[in-house]
Amino acid sequence: MAVKIGVRRVHVGLANLDGHMKAKEVTPLVSHDPKKVVDQVRELVARLLAQCTPQEVIGMGICCPGIIDTKKGEVIKAVNLHWHHVPLRQMFSLHFPWPVFVENSMDTGALGEKWFGSGKDVQDLLYISLGNGIGAGIISHGELLEGYQHAAGEFGHTSIDLDGLLCPCGNRGCVELYASAPAIVRRACAYLEKGGETRIREVWDEGSEELTCEVIDKAARLGDPFALKLWQETGELLGRAIANLVNLLDPEIVVIGGGLSLAHPILLDTIAAVIWDTTASLHERKVEVRRAFFGRDSGLVGAAVLTIERIFA
Amino acid sequence: MAVKIGVRRVHVGLANLDGHMKAKEVTPLVSHDPKKVVDQVRELVARLLAQCTPQEVIGMGICCPGIIDTKKGEVIKAVNLHWHHVPLRQMFSLHFPWPVFVENSMDTGALGEKWFGSGKDVQDLLYISLGNGIGAGIISHGELLEGYQHAAGEFGHTSIDLDGLLCPCGNRGCVELYASAPAIVRRACAYLEKGGETRIREVWDEGSEELTCEVIDKAARLGDPFALKLWQETGELLGRAIANLVNLLDPEIVVIGGGLSLAHPILLDTIAAVIWDTTASLHERKVEVRRAFFGRDSGLVGAAVLTIERIFA
């Protein structure tokens, strides 16, 4: 059983030993209160258990944002969820008979892609997740780089602009302020407010209530020049930021995952081109940029991998 | 026998199995031509061998900047030395009877501090060398993070300013352009040219022909406000840049080495304070910043460690 707790949604999946999701449930998170999150997961698990015999389930891997004490199965700090010392394993173990494992979502994203996805053939990969937040999972010589306190991977809070925007984390110019989904939507809103010409307005009117990156992407796929430029600019910025990591970590490949990895190809193409332009003089080879095989689901698949890895270790 | 080839100097040391340097020779590099470098090292080794019996020497560890193929003992690319595919092991093995090992200087710096220096008690450390160049050696769970092609650690070429100065590497705003020894000297020169008030001029007149960071540091230690401000500003900038690495890698400690680590304490104190200010909201603990135990010599000691590690592995 694999669980991914995000800031807005919770995903629960029933995975085979080869990482294939037999069934999946996704619902908006009703509350950030840890107890209510556990209740919500219980309901989703009950629905999935109707599709298999409970004896078939060998364990439960849970991933969420933040700093995790993986030995205790405790979330030490998750700023976006406002969690501080939440004993997830203990809370889940009250309701489920299986062993429970907890890990950071970026780390499970990297694990999912390494075991069954776009990084199956490599030992040194950098997984970047682009969505409401931005983070990284680093695999070096086949092993997850966890950090001393399991807090590695905060790529979204690396600064690329000394005098840039002030970030809630206290720093200035953090990557997340420029290239996360909310940041891209903010840029589109600013353009719309100035009366800029774009088909985003038309696509928005047809569909969702909220202006989202999906709306912007639909416009880009209709050939809208502003939406395409927005993806390209975001790609340039992310390319520059990821190039820093390529110079620092020398991965064999970069895997781009999260919701934004599904956007118009101009985003990934620009990221790849800019990384190469920026790192060519120091390196002897082109770092390959691949789309995550599991798209939004790398973290969920990785939560299943975590379970398999720990149980069969 | 430990050899460190830098851009300006070559260091050769005779080390005990506990990393202690029994004797050391340092001379300016006469040429960047690899053959002439080998000849120069041969002379220095001959001087050191006069101080021991050659049978006592078990191997030779060599470190230099650049991307290294450690299996072949070949420098694939070292931009600062203008080297491209230089088979150092092969060249040195012609003249010496011992096994020869080659590694990047930042990686040996981290190894030296981890085995015998300021990082003896930890498993996750980030070694930062500040000198004519700026680089990093990353140790994660006790192991060196080498990268896919042994090119990890190019911290000096991570950009902290999107619209910053153009770097010879092709990127803009690289850390090295602001905080390396030549960059600091450039900033002091610009101030002197404008006729700014500082005791740097007076110290410079007393001593060396060239304006160096040692001159600036002497002035700082005399209480010169401009020199102190220069160290502080450099510390603020480095603190911001290293904070990115702390968020990304979550090391237990940061070890600052290289020539600049010996500067007035205001530099390290500022680095430590700014790292904490910048990372506090995401972390649960203060990352400790320590001065490298071996100062300028961490890389050389690490070249000895490399030899010991490989021979007794």
Read off the amino acid at residue B179: A
Q: Is the separation of the CB atoms in A299 and A129 below 8 Å? A: yes
- In this structure, are A136 and A274 located in the same domain? yes
- Pick B148's closest partner by Cβ from A153, A171, A252: A252
CB–CB contact A152 B277 (8 Å): no
Region A166-172: mean pLDDT is: 90
Region B34-41: mean pLDDT is: 96
> A176 - beta bridge partners?
none
CB–CB contact A170 B280 (8 Å): yes
- In this structure, are B234 and B259 located in the same domain? yes
In a domain, A261, yes or no: yes
Q: Is the separation of the CB atoms in A73 and A38 below 8 Å? A: no
- In this structure, are A87 and A130 located in the same domain? no
Q: DSSP H helical segments within chain B, as ranges?
A: 34-49, 88-93, 105-116, 176-179, 181-193, 200-206, 213-221, 225-249, 266-279, 298-312
> B144 - beta bridge partners?
B139
CB–CB contact A252 B151 (8 Å): no
- In this structure, are B304 and B231 located in the same domain? no
Task: Please state, for a pLDDT cut of 90, what percent of chain A lies above it.
Answer: 86
- In this structure, are B152 and B240 located in the same domain? yes
Question: Quick one: pLDDT at residue A114?
Answer: 97
* A121 has a pLDDT exceeding 80: yes
> Which pLDDT band, with edges at 50, 70 and 90, does B296 fall under?
very high
Of A76-80, A246-250, A291-295, B163-167, where does mean pLDDT reach its minimum? A76-80
Structure tokens at A265: 């190809």
Which residue's entry shows tokens 């090119």? B151
Q: Is the separation of the CB atoms in B45 and B36 below 8 Å? A: no
In a domain, A58, yes or no: yes
A-chain residues near B254 (CB < 8 A): none
Q: DSSP H helical segments within A124-256, as ranges?
A: 176-179, 181-193, 200-206, 213-221, 225-249
Question: Quick one: pLDDT at residue B51?
Answer: 82
In a domain, A218, yes or no: yes
Question: Quick one: pLDDT at residue A51?
Answer: 82
> Which pLDDT band, with edges at 50, 70 and 90, does A102 fall under?
very high
In a domain, A116, yes or no: no
* B33 has a pLDDT exceeding 80: yes
- In this structure, are B71 and B100 located in the same domain? yes
* B237 has a pLDDT exceeding 80: yes
- In this structure, are A161 and A63 located in the same domain? no
Question: Quick one: pLDDT at residue A117?
Answer: 97
Reported as a single tens digit per residue, the pLDDT across A177-217 is 999 999 999 999 999 999 999 999 999 988 878 899 999 99
- In this structure, are B173 and B186 located in the same domain? yes
Reported as a single tens digit per residue, the pLDDT across B123-153 is 999 999 999 999 999 999 999 999 998 899 9
Region A288-298: mean pLDDT is: 96
- In this structure, are A105 and A150 located in the same domain? no
- Best of A141, A166, A248 to disrupt the B interface (most B CBs within 10 Å) is A248
Question: Quick one: pLDDT at residue B80?
Answer: 84
Number of domains in chain A: 2
Which residue's entry shows tokens 């430029």? A229
- In this structure, are A100 and A236 located in the same domain? no
Maximum Cα–Cα distance for chain B, whole Å? 59
Residue B219 to chain A, least CA–CA distance (Å): 28
In sequence order, what DSSP letters do the residues of A110-132 get, joined into one string? HHHHHHHSTTTT-SSEEEEEESS
Question: Quick one: pLDDT at residue B106?
Answer: 96
Q: Is the dihedral angle over the CA atoms A195, A198, A204, A210 positive or is it negative?
A: negative
Maximum Cα–Cα distance for chain A, whole Å? 59
End-to-end CA distance of chain A: 18
CATH number for A92: 3.30.420.40
* B53 has a pLDDT exceeding 80: no
Domain limits for position A57: 2-111+297-312
- In this structure, are B60 and B208 located in the same domain? no
In a domain, A30, yes or no: yes
> Which pLDDT band, with edges at 50, 70 and 90, does A43 fall under?
very high
- In this structure, are A143 and A262 located in the same domain? yes
CB–CB contact B77 A250 (8 Å): no
Structure tokens at A212: 């989202």
- Distance, in Å, from the CA atom of A213 to the CA atom of A211, rounded to the nearest integer, reads 7
Cα separations in angstroms, A182 against A130, A131, A208, A213, B269: 11, 8, 16, 8, 37
Question: Quick one: pLDDT at residue B137?
Answer: 97
In sequence order, what DSSP letters do the residues of A43-85 get, joined into one string? HHHHHHHTTS-GGG---EEEEESSEEETTTTEEEEEGGGTEEE
In a domain, A168, yes or no: yes
Query: Average pLDDT of chain A?
Result: 94
Provide the whole-model pTM: 0.94
Region B221-233: mean pLDDT is: 98
- Pick B162's closest partner by Cβ from A79, A122, A240: A240
* B54 has a pLDDT exceeding 80: no
